[in-house]
Amino acid sequence: MTTHTEPTAASTAPPRATSIPELATDLWQLTVDYAKQETVDPLKGLGRFVGFGIGGAFALGIGVTLLLLSGLRALQTETGTAFTGNLSWIPYLIAVAVGGILIALAVARVSQRKGPGA
**Would you state the pLDDT for residue 2?**
57
Domain extent listing, the chain = 24-110
- Higher model confidence: residue 85 or residue 15? 85
- Describe the crossing of helices 41-78 and 90-110 by its angle, rounded to 10 degrees: 160
**Closest by Cα among 65, 59, 62 to 96:** 65
What distance in Å separates the CA atoms of residue 67 and residue 95, rounded to the nearest whole number?
A: 10
**Would you state the pLDDT for residue 112?**
85
pTM of the predicted model, to two decimals?
0.61
pLDDT-based confidence at 5, cuts 50/70/90? low
Q: What is the pLDDT of residues 6-58, one digit of tens each?
A: 556 555 655 666 788 889 999 999 999 898 888 887 888 888 889 999 999 99
**Would you state the pLDDT for residue 92?**
96
**Closest by Cα among 69, 90, 68 to 79:** 90
pLDDT-based confidence at 118, cuts 50/70/90? low
C-alpha distance across the termini of the chain, in Å: 67
